[in-house]
Amino acid sequence: MPFQTILKELVDVVPRAIGAIVVDWEGEAVQEYCHCDSYDIRFMAAHKGIILARLRETHVDNLGGEIEEVMVTSQHQVLLIGAVDADYSLVLQVERPCVTAVARRHFAAAVARLKKEL
H helix runs in the chain, sequence order: 3-13, 38-58, 100-117
- The predicted-structure confidence for 86-109, as pLDDT tens digits, reads as follows 889 899 999 988 888 999 999 999
CB 12 within 8 Å of CB 100: no
pTM of the shown model:
0.87
Q: Which domains does the chain have, with CATH numbers?
A: 3-117 (3.30.450.30)
* Residue 69 pLDDT exceeds 80: yes
DSSP 62: G
